[in-house]
Structure 1
Amino acid sequence: MAKIDDSVKKKVPELRFKGFTDDWEERKLGELSNIVGGGTPSTSNPEYWDGDIDWYAPAEIGEQSYVSKSKKTITELGLKKSSARILPVGTVLFTSRAGIGNTAILAKEATTNQGFQSIVPVQNKLDSYFIFSRTNELKRYGEVTGAGSTFVEVSGKQMSKMSIMVPELSEQQKIGSFFKQLDDTIALHQRKLDLLKEQKKGYLQKMFPKNGAKVPELRFTGFADDWEERKLSEGTSKIGDGLHGTPNYSDNGDVFFINGNNLVNGKIVITKETKLVTESNQSKDDKLLNTDTILMSINGTIGNLAWYNNERVMLGKSAAYLTVSNFDKKFIFSYLQTSTIKNYFLNNLTGTTIKNLGLKTIRDTTLFVPTLEEQQQIGEFFWTLEETIALHQRKLDLLKEQKKGFLQKMFV
Structure 2
Amino acid sequence: MKIDNIKNSSKKSLCINIPALRFPEFKNSPSWNITNLGEISSMIKEKAGKNKYISMSVISGLGLIPQTEKFGKEIAGDSYKNYIVIRKYDFAYNKSATKQFPEGFISMLNDYDIAAVPNSIFICFRITDKNYYPNILNYLFYNNYHGYWLRKYIEIGGRAHGSLNFDIKHLWDMPIILPTLPEQQKIASFLTTADELIDAERRKLEALKKYKKGLMQKLFPRDGEKVPEMRFPE
Question: What amino acid maps onto 2:158 in structure 1?
Answer: S
Kindly state the Cα deviation for residue 39 of structure 1 after the two structures are TM-superposed.
8.9
- The code of the aligned residue for 2:107 comes to T
Per-residue CA deviation, residues 85-122 of structure 1 (Å, 9 max, x unaligned), is 21111123433213222635422121222343344221
Tell me, what secondary structure is at the counterpart of 1:110? strand
- Is the Cα contact below 8 Å between 1:28 and 1:164 reproduced in 2? yes
Q: Distance in 1 between matches of 2:195 and 2:221?
A: 41
Match of 2:195 in 1: 183
CA distance in 2, matches of 1:175, 1:196: 32
Q: Which residue of 1 aligns with 2:208?
A: 196
Task: Give the superposed CA RMSD.
Answer: 3.6
CA-to-partner distance for each residue in 1:344-365, whole Å, 9 max, x for gaps? xxxxxxxxxxxxxxxxxxxxxx
Q: 2:34 aligns with which of 26, 33, 45?
A: 26
Q: Which residue of 2 aligns with 1:149?
A: 158
Q: Does the 8 A contact of 1:53 with 1:74 survive in 2? A: no
Alignment of 1:91-102 (within 5 A): 91-99=90-98, 100-101=104-105
* 1:140 partnered with 2:145: no
Q: Tell me what 2:230 maps to.
A: 219
Aligned AA (1:29): L
| 2:66 is aligned with 1:57 | no
Deviations along 1:49-108, one digit per CA (max 9) or x if unpaired, are: xx952222233x5236xx675425589x864x21x2211111234332132226354221
1:131 aligns with 2:140: no
What is the rounded CA distance, in whole Å, between the counterparts of 2:105 and 2:181 in structure 1?
A: 24
Q: Which amino acid aligns with 1:32?
A: I
- The answer to whether the 8 A contact 1:35-1:160 is kept is no
1:16 aligns with: 22
Q: For 1:258-281, what per-residue CA distance to the aligned partner results, in whole angstroms no more than 9, with x for missing partners?
A: xxxxxxxxxxxxxxxxxxxxxxxx
Q: Is the 8 A contact 1:36 1:120 kept in 2?
A: yes
Looking at structure 2, the residues matched to 206 and 144 of structure 1 have their Cα atoms a distance apart, in angstroms, of: 57
Query: Contact conserved, 2:57 with 2:66, CA < 8 A, in 1?
Result: no
Q: Counterparts of 1:191 and 1:215 in 2: how far apart (Å)?
A: 33
Structure 2 residue 169 is the aligned partner of structure 1 residue 170: no
What amino acid does structure 2 have at the position aligned with 1:54?
I
Alpha-carbon spacing, 1:196–1:85, altered in 2? closer, same or farther (3 Å)? same
- Contact kept? 1:38, 1:117, Cα under 8 Å: no
Q: Matched residues in 1 for 2:125 and 2:177: separation?
A: 16
CA distance 1:213–1:153, change in 2 (3 Å)? farther
For 2:192 and 2:169, locate their aligned partners in 1 and report how far apart those are by CA, in whole Å: 29
User: For the structure 1 residues 89 and 204, does the alpha-carbon distance in structure 2 shift closer, same or farther, using more than 3 Å as the test?
Assistant: same
CA contact (8 A) 1:58 1:115 kept: no
Query: 1:122–1:154: structure 2 CA closer, same or farther, 3 Å change rule?
Result: farther
Which SS does the other structure have where 2:86 is aligned? coil
Distance change (3 Å), C-alpha of 1:149 and 1:209: farther
* TM-aligned CA distance change 1:56 to 1:213, over 3 Å: farther
C-alpha distance after superposition, 1:28-67 (max 9, x if no partner) = 11211234489999xxxxxx8xx952222233x5236xx6
CA deviations 1:289-312 (Å, max 9, x no partner) are xxxxxxxxxxxxxxxxxxxxxxxx
Within the candidate set 123, 128, 131, 1:122 is matched to 128
CA distance in 1, matches of 2:163, 2:65: 28
Question: Highest Rg: 1 or 2?
Answer: 1
Q: What is the distance in 1 between the residues matched to 2:45 and 2:221?
A: 55
> Per-residue deviation at 1:27?
1.0
Aligned to 2:8: none
TM value normalised by structure 1: 0.41
- Give me the whole-angstrom Cα distance separating, in 2, the residues matched to 1:142 and 1:190: 33
Aligned residues: 201
- Counterparts in 2 of 1:78 and 1:154: CA distance versus 1, 3 Å: closer
What is the alpha-carbon distance in structure 2 between the residues aligned to residue 144 and residue 203 of structure 1? 53
- 2 CA distance for matches of 1:198 and 1:38? 46
The residue matched to 2:164 in structure 1 has which SS? coil
**Closer, same or farther in 2 for the Cα pair 1:62/1:119, shift >3 Å?**
farther
C-alpha displacement of 1:190? 1.6
Q: Distance in 2 between matches of 1:211 and 1:115?
A: 54
Farther off after superposition, 126-135 or 145-154:
145-154
Mapped to 1, the partners of 2:47 and 2:223 lie a distance apart of 51
Higher relative contact order (CA 8 A, sep 6+): 2
Task: Determine the C-alpha separation between the residues in 1 that align with 2:223 and 2:147.
Answer: 49
Aligned partners of 2:61 and 2:127: how far apart in 1?
19
Maintained 8 Å contact 1:101/1:142: no
